[in-house]
């Protein structure tokens, strides 16, 4: 006997909802039950367990439950808490933009090496202005000495002439 064939209709019967089953399935189930002791027992079993579960009484929700939930949520008026909590969405959406900017930077660097060199040249000029052609200035040298007087160091800093060092050690 093909008992599994009748399982859906048997379930509906257990729920007292045979009206939802087609006429042919209903008649077929009845004919099957006439000759199948196992399915008759199964139907009884299904109905009894269902009766026990549908009769379960609700447990009482612990006092203060809503307040505890609400206390975990920020309802600040300055910004919508829902929007604040969508940061993941925004992060995901910004990934293509960030990737595009990175690629654009790489393409630019490859296609304009002269500009990169000029940028390096600027950093060298800045270093020369700060430390002089040999990497030192009078003020920098005095700064490294322990016994130099404060007023002398201040005078050296104030009287420093960065333009001289920018000329590469050749004031003329």
Partner 1 sequence: MDHDQDHALVEAAAAGDAAAAEALISRYQTRMFNFARTLTANDADAEDVAQETFLRAFRGLGRFRGESSFKNWLYRIAANVARSHLGKRVRQGSVWDRRVEADDAGEYALVDQTETVEDSVIRRDLLDRSLSALSDDLRMVLVLHDVEGLEYREIAAVLRVPIGTVMSRIFRARRRLRPLLTDLLRRAETTDSTENVKGQSAETFGHPTLGKVAL
Closest of 36, 37, 40, 35 to residue 13, by C-alpha: 40
Integer Cα distance of 158 and 127 in angstroms: 19
What is the token pair recorded at 39? 């399915």
- Rounded to a whole number of angstroms, the minimum distance from the CB of residue 97 to partner 1 is 21
- Shortest approach of partner 1 to residue 8 CB, angstroms? 6
Provide the minimum distance between the beta carbon of 16 and partner 1 in the complex, in angstroms, as a whole number. Answer: 6
Structure tokens at 159: 């009287």
> Is the Cβ of residue 27 or residue 127 nearer to partner 1 in the bound state?
27
- Rank residues 71 and 111 by Cβ distance to partner 1 and give the closer one: 71
Q: Which residues contact residue 135 at a Cβ distance below 8 angstroms, ignoring those fewer than 6 apart?
A: none
Q: Would you say 22 or 159 has its CB closer to partner 1?
A: 22
Q: How far is the CB of 90 from partner 1 (least distance, A)?
A: 11
Residue 166 exposed, middle or buried by CB count within 10 Å (0-12, 13-18, 19+): middle
Residues that bind partner 1 (CB under 8 A): 7-8, 10-11, 13-14, 16, 18, 30, 33-34, 40, 42-59, 61-62, 65-66, 68-70, 72-73, 75-77, 80-83, 85-86, 89
Nearer to partner 1, 43 or 128 (CB): 43
Residue whose C-alpha is closest to residue 4's, from 38, 35, 27, 48: 38
Nearest distance from residue 72's CB to partner 1, in Å? 6
Nearer to partner 1, 89 or 141 (CB): 89
Find out whether 6 and 18 touch, Cβ atoms under 8 Å. Answer: no
Q: Could you tell me the two tokens for 88?
A: 């993941």
């Amino acid at each position: 006997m093909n008992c599994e064939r009748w399982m859906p209709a048997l379930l509906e019967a257990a729920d007292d909802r045979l009206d939802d089953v087609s006429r042919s399935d209903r008649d077929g189930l009845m004919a099957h039950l006439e000759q199948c002791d196992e399915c008759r027992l199964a139907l009884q079993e299904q109905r009894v367990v269902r009766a026990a579960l549908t009769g379960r009484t609700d447990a009482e929700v612990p006092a203060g439950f809503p307040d505890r939930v609400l206390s975990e949520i920020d309802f600040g008026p300055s910004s919508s808490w829902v929007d604040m909590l969508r940061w993941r969405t925004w992060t995901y959406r910004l990934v293509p933009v960030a990737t595009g900017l990175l690629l654009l930077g790489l393409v630019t660097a490859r296609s304009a090496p002269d500009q990169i060199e000029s940028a390096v040249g600027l950093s060298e000029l800045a270093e020369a202005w700060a430390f002089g052609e040999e990497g030192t200035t009078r003020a920098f040298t005095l700064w490294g000495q322990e016994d130099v007087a404060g007023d002398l160091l201040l005078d050296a800093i104030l009287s420093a002439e960065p333009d001289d060092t920018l000329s590469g050690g050749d004031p003329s």
